Amino acid sequence: MIKLVLVDDHQVFVQGVEALLSRAEDITVTNTFTNALDLMRFLQEGELPDVILLDIEMGADNGVDVAENVLHQYPSVKVVMLSTYFNEEFVSQLMESGISGYLLKNTGYKELQEAVRKVSGGSFAFSPEIMQVIVKGFNQGGTTITNQGEEKSGPLSEREIEIVQLIADELTMKEIAEKVFLSEHTVKTHRKNIMAKLDVKNTAGLIKKAFVLGLIR
């Protein structure tokens, strides 16, 4: 069972999302909060959820700062940001924080449920509009990949490239393991090695770099 916490300062929205997620047999909303202070107090008690759905703008609270604090103090928790719109500045900052997803609030309930499953399984979940911003921002950042740089980090093997594509297809580590006939532990080791070779810190960074290198179809 995936344990999920929802944080948003609009109570009606919270109740609506909770009702939608309750339709899934494998997801349970353990707690809901309308402010960051109550969330952090809850986390300090030690009952950590698997996933937190966190609104970017919550009145006096800055969701970006809250996400960074949560990920810094509780790295095992997966954070997915929610927003009514996408802000390119927020996207850039959040990619550095290590979030596992960024969804617009118009996401359908089935897509939302699937996003929670993917993130819980070690993958990522971004609305298509957000992914476009990620790729655009990375390409315009002036990053140049040289042959010398590639030799320094080491080329990816055919198996690693295959796993990169499957990660980009939003498969979980378990699903990838089943597809390529490897153990989940081995797939996680491949992901760790891929991230080291590409010099990235998280899955979002891996996807961005893979787009730039043309590893993703």
Higher pLDDT, 123 or 189: 189
The verdict on 10 and 50 lying in the same domain is: yes
Q: What mean pLDDT is predicted for residues 156-164?
A: 87
Domain range for 150 is 145-213
Instruction: Specify whether 110 is located in the same domain as 155.
Output: no
Q: How far apart are CA 95 and CA 59, in angstroms?
A: 22
**Mean per-residue pLDDT, 61-69:** 86
For the cut 90, the answer to whether the pLDDT of residue 215 exceeds it is no
Torsion angle of the four alpha carbons 62, 128, 29, 48, in this order, in degrees rounded to the nearest 10:
-60
**Do residues 26 and 88 share a domain?**
yes
Q: What is the mean pLDDT of the segment spanning 33-51?
A: 93
Q: Which of 179, 185, 215, 181 is nearest to 200 (CA)?
A: 215
The confidence score (pLDDT) of residue 23 equals: 86
Residue (of 122, 62, 114) closest to 98 by Cα position:
122
Query: Does residue 145 carry a pLDDT above 70?
Result: no
Residue 152 has pLDDT above 50, yes or no: no
pLDDT (tens digit per residue) in 73-113: 998 999 999 988 776 666 766 767 778 888 998 888 889 99
CATH of the domain at 156: 1.10.10.10
Residue 50 and residue 81 in one domain:
yes
- What total number of domains does the chain contain? 2
For the segment 198-210, the average pLDDT, to the nearest whole number, is 80
The reply to whether 105 and 167 lie within a common domain is no
What is the residue type of 46? G
133 and 153 share a domain? Answer: no
- Confidence class for position 25, pLDDT limits 50, 70, 90: very high
pTM, entire model:
0.68
| DSSP type of residue 162 | H
